[in-house]
Chain A
Amino acid sequence: MQSDGLHFEFAVDGENFASAGTASETIKNTLKKLGLPPATVRRTAIAMYEGEINMVIHAGGGTAVVDITPTAIEIELKDEGPGIADIELAMREGYSTAPEEIRMLGFGAGMGLSNMKKYSDEMKIESEVSKGTRVLLKINI
């Protein structure tokens, strides 16, 4: 663990919508307790929630690692899912590969990645088809 910071690791359970969002909820409550500005808390919570849901929908779960340092909130979302073939296309608002039954639940509107970009200060995606995806999000404090 780094000094002057907080470190969190979460296993994100795949195929379980009921518990999806618990990791981002924990981070949100932590940030509130730390007294960060409401807008920063909300941006972080939404960006992370979208990432968490993506792993549930597309990758059968994964891991979320969060570091809160004096200057930023850094989130790493990693899965061993199908990967993203065309990242640029996937980033477009409204583009979705979510199956119909997921959309019926109100998810999979194709806003996940674009919202993650919109609400974070830095975003990096590394993905390899049939290997998995790694998303890094940074929200400056």
Chain B
Amino acid sequence: MSQEKRLHTVTLDQDKCKGCVACMRRCPTGAIRVRDGKAKIYYDKCIGCGECVRVCHHHAKKAVYDSFDIIKNYKYKIALPAPSFFGQFNNLENLGLIIAGLKRIGFDEVMEVSIGAELSSDATRRVLKEGTIKKPVISTACPAILQLILLKYHSLTENLLNLLAPVDIVAKLARENAIKKTGLKAEDIGVFFISPCPAKVFALKSGLGVEKPLVDGVLAASEVYFKLLPELKNIKDCTEVASTGLLGFAWACSGGEAAGIMKDKYIAADGIENCMNVLKELEDNKLDHMDFVELNACIGGCVGGVLNIENPFVARSKIRELNKSLPLSKNSIESVGKELDYFKWETNPETNDVLRLDEDFMVALKKMSDIDAIMKQLPGLDCGNCGAPTCRAFAEDIVDGAVDISLCTRKETNENNNK
């Protein structure tokens, strides 16, 4: 995908950026450079994980999401709160309160994304039984991980679980139901995801695995939280009841999705570096005995999303408390009257070739040889002073013609070391 077509999941506040290298060093795909004293994001390499937003001390990195006011553009408004959203509140004893509260701040209807999670678990069990996807089957629910695989781990695309993300499943169901219920046209119905992370913004807006986006907007959990909080105490005699069991809400945390497949041979890893280590082992056939691999880019899973309010570990504890009073599951493919195909990807997401040095192998070989030659002149300190995260990334930038080797301020260190 070209730079123009890529969505911007994270933006930079030029005035607040001090040109420190914190975000550049943290970025797991090397998508950031510091040029002319400011961080620059190369969106074609960005997977939307939000790590740069998390580490920026100057609050210059901002996750992109829609303004709450966009819901006003639709006649009938449906909120889709993420499972992790329910873990953001103190002393919440009744999940129905959140549903009632969302209706007080402007939504006509609420459909929990955890419903889609339970449906996805049911569909996953069936796909595993079908045996149509190469094992170990890799979860695709975390869009940052899916983007990462499409960018860096092309040989693993045949292991990808070909199911819609829970939010896409509920978006599809909610719109269909609302059309029947209200008699309104599809375009008059606004479907909004209350998201824990910018990666979801990217996935939903670009429509990962679907023909065209199924949601009309992605709202930040933190922004909705502050609108909702004052309303919660005004709710008397709450009659709303959550439509999900504990398996659905468990998706808020790492290991929740894997628990739903009801098999023992699974791995659930969280945190982007940990996930990259697992992907590396998958590539080397070291995890062939596994049935299922769940990977979440954020530490703790979706509760660790950068758009949340609560500390992920506290949120996890809250979800656990809430789950005590819930039945195992309330939704299945039968209960919604659909076939397995309804939950499958409409299109297979395409791999991203931006990391290859050149389309022509001979040119790529020459470039790699030039990069290796430049590497010999660099100190190998990965200090970041040149504005690239590693000496190797800097050497690649030089070969690409983006920068000059004179930007390296520590070449003398190399010369001294070699004496």
Please give the residue numbers on chain A whose beta carbons come within 8 Å of chain B beta carbons, in ascending order.
Answer: 4-6, 21, 24-25, 28, 30, 32-36, 38-39, 41-42, 45-46, 49, 68, 70, 141
Within 8 Å CB of A33, what residues of B? 355-357, 364, 368
Instruction: Contacts A45-B283, A46-B284 given; indicate if A4 touches B364 (C-beta within 8 A).
Output: no
Output the least CB separation between B86 and chain A (Å): 39
Cross-chain contact A34 with B280 (CB below 8 angstroms): no
Instruction: Contacts A6-B369, A45-B284, A46-B285 given; indicate if A34 touches B155 (C-beta within 8 A).
Output: no
Cross-chain contact B283 with A28 (CB below 8 angstroms): yes
18 contacts between A and B (CB under 8 A): A6-B368, A6-B369, A21-B284, A25-B280, A30-B368, A32-B355, A32-B356, A34-B364, A34-B365, A34-B368, A35-B356, A35-B357, A35-B359, A38-B157, A41-B155, A46-B284, A49-B284, A141-B361
Nearest CB to that of A8 among chain B residues? B372
Query: Looking at the complex, which one of A6, A38, A68 makes contact with B154 (CB distance below 8 Å)?
Result: A38
Contacting A at CB under 8 A, from B350-365, are 353, 355-359, 361-362, 364-365
Output the least CB separation between A133 and chain B (Å): 22
Q: A-B pairs with the 4 shortest C-beta distances?
A: A35-B356, A38-B155, A38-B154, A42-B155
Within 8 Å CB of A39, what residues of B? 155
Nearest CB to that of A40 among chain B residues? B155
5 other contacts beyond A33-B368, A34-B356, with CB at 8 A cut-off? A32-B152, A39-B155, A41-B154, A46-B285, A70-B361
Cross-chain contact B283 with A42 (CB below 8 angstroms): yes
Output the least CB separation between A18 and chain B (Å): 12
Cross-chain contact B369 with A34 (CB below 8 angstroms): no
Within 8 Å CB of A36, what residues of B? 361
Residue among A4, A24, A32, A70 facing the most chain B CB atoms (10 A cut-off): A32
Within 8 Å CB of A6, what residues of B? 365, 368-369, 372
Within 8 Å CB of B280, what residues of A? 25
Nearest CB to that of B152 among chain A residues? A32
A30 to B154, CA, bound (A): 14
